[in-house]
Structure 1
Amino acid sequence: MFRRFLATSLSRSSPPPLLHLHPKILQTPNSLLRPYPKPTPSQSLPPNTRSLSSHMGDARRPGSVPIPHVERADRSELLRALEASLGSAFSSEPLWPSPSPLIIVISGPSGVGKDAVIKKLKDSNENLHFVVTATTRPTRPGEVHGKDYYFVSKEEFLTMVERNELLEYALVYGDYKGIPKQQIREELGKGYDIVLRVDIQGAQTLRKILGNSAVFIFFMAESEAKLVERLIDRKTETKESLLVRVAMAREEVKHVKNFDYVVVNAEGRLDNAVKLVESIIDAEKAKVQQKRSVI
């Protein structure tokens, strides 16, 4: 039927070059005109697709170990069943390692309240070790050797320098100040965070030594006028030294760009400054890329 229809169509509407096909179509055996067989379901998908489908089916297949009903079984029974189904025991090791101890460098101009903040931090943070600095300056009223500073002679200090016992040292207002290395190593080894209180010059030196392995915090007053008022109220300076400190403070503020954080210790808001420092420490410890200090 189809062969006759095709031949008739060619004879009626085809151009002359196709007319010679008319008698050949009528003479073609039926076996050559059989329709192409339909593909079976297994042939309709490429081999890779069938394999992927099979694997996906395996992945969705539940484990061979029956898991008890969540509402009826106790926790230990469920844990054992889940471990058996997964083929491994659940680890009790921490999913994330404990944060590394930090070295926190605190600096800023004279009169910004660094010591007041540090005292508050000492009272409320047992995991902080505040490095005691060696100095050649005279002891001030109320200061305790070994607690506030290690008060040493100039000769003793220079001997420490020769023995490479200091991480950093500088001549400040005519007196030497330096940070003993061994003290830092011991406390880092115990897992304590280290707090270093240094002047701007010392912070610059520590930045060169420690790079980005330490946290550098710059303290400042809310305004220059407030800073000068604090220096006056301390009543520890002569008029000459007061003038020097104010002039130096103006220059030191320009170095803030070399620090990681700024804390404004506003008058009457000491607790806010302390909380901000604690928040900075917490934020650093929560970072994925931890700072690691080696002295």
Structure 2
Amino acid sequence: MYKEKGLLIVLSGPSGVGKGTVRKEIFSQNDAKFEYSISMTTRKPREGEVDGVDYFFKSREEFEQLIEQGKLLEYAEFVGNYYGTPVDYVRDTIENGRDVFLEIEVQGARQVREKFPEALFIFLAPPSLSELRNRIVTRGTETEDVISKRLQTAKEEIEMMDLYDYVVENDEVKLACERIKSIVVAEHCKRERISKRYQIMLEAE
């Protein structure tokens, strides 16, 4: 029996746009049927964290070996520890017909586009740069210099919008979530995704 593959859904956008908030809202809803992509890291597990649930915990040597083998969709190093997305977990989940949801930074999305071009790329955009600035300012105690650098980076990231298939404005979190879910439904209805199922059905007659 033919089984349709799942989708890799990549949600990305500039810092401060609300990616994490939107992702949490989507996963809090009863109709969310996505698997959240579990990241891999070289940092030590914190109290209560479970390997394979919170993160895949690896040694630095193991992680660097996986980089060399091309086993990571994307990765980066923060404060002396590696973080990345294991490609085998994503592929296995998709092969089993389940959608995988990946929330990452724009640079990470660029890496995924190179290795997994068939993924669904959604860019979460701010209503305006002034609104993005307000969100960055209200996040914490960053200095004016840091805020300016973040805004400059955000402008550069917005210019990379062409890497994506869809753009969703995050004017209201619930509205942004509904738009994202609608995009996923539309992708599943694409002719090239479902035509094989009907070909098999016709051949069986």
Same fold (TM over 0.5): yes
CA contact 1:170–1:201 (8 Å) conserved in 2: no
Q: For residues 122 and 90 of structure 2, what CA distance do their matches in structure 1 show?
A: 18
CA contact (8 A) 2:73 2:116 kept: no
Paired residue secondary structure (1:217): strand
1:157 CA displacement: 3.6
Counterpart check, 1:130 vs 2:33: no
After superposing the two structures, state which structure 1 stretch, 225-234 or 271-280, moved more.
Answer: 225-234
Q: 1:236 to 1:158 in 2, by over 3 A?
A: farther
AA matched with 1:168: E
Which has the larger share of strand? 2
- 1:100 and 1:285 in contact (8 A); partners too: no
Greater relative contact order (CA < 8 Å, ≥ 6 in sequence): 2
Offset at 1:98?
A: 6.2
Partner of residue 283 from structure 1, selected from 186, 202, 205: 186
Whether 2:84 is the aligned partner of 1:178: answer yes
Number of aligned residues: 192
Question: RMSD between aligned alpha carbons?
Answer: 3.2
**Please, which runs of 5 or more residues in structure 2 have no aligned partner?**
195-205
SS in 1 for 2:23: helix
Counterpart amino acid of residue 15 in structure 2: S
The answer to whether structure 1 residue 197 and structure 2 residue 103 are counterparts is yes
Cα distance, 1:170 vs. partner?
3.1
8 Å Cα contact 1:99/1:285 also seen in 2:
no
Aligned partner (choices 215, 219, 235) of residue 124 of structure 2: 219
Rg larger for = 1
CA 1:189–1:100 in structure 2 vs 1: closer, same or farther (change >3 Å)?
closer
Change (3 A) 1:239 1:258: same
Q: Closer, same or farther in 2 for the Cα pair 1:210/1:241, shift >3 Å?
A: same
**Structure 1 residue 274 corresponds to structure 2 residue 177:** yes
Any gaps of 5 or more consecutive residues in structure 1? 1-92
The offset of 1:242, in angstroms, is: 3.2
What SS does structure 1 have at the residue aligned with 2:102? strand
Percent pairwise identity = 36
Aligned-pair CA distance for 1:144 = 5.7
Match of 2:165 among 255, 260, 268: 260
**TM-score, structure 1 as length reference:** 0.56
TM-score (norm 2): 0.78
2:94 aligned residue (188, 200, 205): 188
Change (3 A) 1:258 1:151: same
Give the Å deviation of 1:223: 0.7
Match of 2:25 in 1: 120
